Amino acid sequence: MRPEIESTLEWAKKLGADQSDVILNEGNALSLSAQQGRIETYKVTSSRLIGVRVIRDQRVGISYSEDLSLDSLRSMVESALRLTRAVERDESQSITLSGESLVDTNQKTYREDSTSLEEKIRLTLRLEEEIKQRDRRVQGVPYNGYSEGESHSYYGNHLGLRVYEREKSFNCYTSALLKDGDKQALFYRGGNGRTFQELDPETTIAETLQLTGTLLDARPVPTGKYDVIFEPDCFQGLFTCFTGLFSAKAVKDGYSRFGNSLGEIIAHPELSLRDLPRFERGFHHVLTDAEGVKKTDLTLIDQGRLVSLYHNSATARHFGTGTTGHASRSPKGQLGTALTQLVMDPGTTPDNRLRSGKVLRIFALDGLHAGVNSSSGAFSLAASGELLEDGVPIQGVKGITLSGNFFDLIRNVSGIGQTLLATTGKGFFAPEIRFSELQVAGS
């Protein structure tokens, strides 16, 4: 374990903290982008940040530092302890988890990679060059690039618990700006991997051009109500705007109506939602939460019934239950809650039935922050996609506004597909779901 962790905990004890824990994050990253056949951006960064949480007389103080010298660590602890004099008591926060060291060096999230810089540059140039070569209508490739990152995370508390986890990831993305007469469209796509070789630039390029081409010839559909299927990335964007509703902290703070809904049917009876931190197909593999609690699978919705919220130790203590291992905290931040990797169960509806008749397939939503009220469930978003008839695309669609309410959305389902699909980031998994009669403002 890093000596800075031990020194910080020692200072906290010497200076009068009743309880303390420390988070230390270190990382480095490389990013490249290209324009006009040349590398436009070449950026190498590194970071390290340590943060301490102290509890004295049931009052919590937090402080952080980018300087890991002994003098700075002491000053950081002193600052956190000073803050405890100015805040109210918080009886729910307590650091009580003890245990042995937990070290996660699995190959799922961190693998050595010896790819040369020259090969990474060639990939970056290819992401721009091939977009231009494959379609004469391409006017530019405004967004393209390659990035990689490596992070190391450490946790320690005054009771002897120590945790170390590491992660390495590789990413590439590209875009296409198409123009044909007075018609214009822009779209982008990306992908990731745990090694450079896992990246799939061919799929990224092909999907970018295919989806941008669909938008180029797109037009609004008539205003009315439509059944809708969301493409996986698009569905993740919309659905995760509302996952905070399942947080016990949101219930405690009065931002979620689900506090009185445990055990009740809140969704279609075939819809089940789980948080699976070590799902085999998933990109993520997380050992512990931000309090050092070991991650385990959690079912939130089981066949339409809300069966659990997600907790950290403070919300668990408040509600008289156990933590679910969903604490989140950065070195700078307060204790919160966060999910890891969401998976929805496949359903029983065959694809031909799921896409029968006319249905809108949406693959882009704009305004996910401004157009969403996460408390009330209301959303109103600019959308793009294609209109299908019996599974066959008959029209590209753009210039429409899609409106609805999350609580109605998860109930009004006419079919859940049999195939589990992944987002391009491989951090969210769901089958295709046909949602019934969403309001569309179009032509």
Buried b (16+ CB within 10 A) or exposed e, 182-201: eeebbbbbbbbbbebeebeb
Give the separation between CA 17 and CA 98, rounded to whole angstroms: 17
Q: Residue ranges of the domains in the chain?
A: 3-214, 218-443
* Neighbour count for residue 36 (Cβ, 10 Å): 9
In whole angstroms, what separates CA 258 from the centre of its chain? 22
Q: What is the full per-residue pLDDT of the chain (443 aa) written as tens digits?
A: 799 999 999 999 999 999 999 999 999 999 999 999 999 999 999 999 999 999 999 999 999 999 999 999 999 999 999 999 999 999 999 999 998 888 887 788 999 999 999 999 999 999 999 999 999 999 999 999 999 999 999 999 999 999 999 999 999 999 999 999 999 999 999 999 999 999 999 999 999 999 999 999 999 999 999 999 999 999 999 999 999 999 999 999 999 999 899 999 999 999 999 999 999 999 999 999 999 999 999 999 999 999 999 999 999 999 999 999 999 999 999 999 999 999 999 999 998 899 999 999 999 999 888 899 999 999 999 999 999 999 999 999 999 999 999 999 999 999 999 999 999 999 999 999 999 999 999 99
pTM above 0.85, yes or no: yes
Planar angle of CA 258, 260, 266, nearest 5 degrees: 55
Give the separation between CA 206 and CA 214, rounded to whole angstroms: 12
Name the class of domain 3-214.
Answer: alpha beta
- Helices 117-134 and 201-216, interaxial angle, to 10°? 30
Our CA dihedral for 303, 309, 310, 313, rounded to 10 degrees, sits at -150
Residue 249's SS3 state is helix
Length of the chain: 443
Q: What is the DSSP string of 11-36?
A: HHHHTT-SEEEEEEEEEEEEEEEEET
Give the separation between CA 242 and CA 239, rounded to whole angstroms: 6
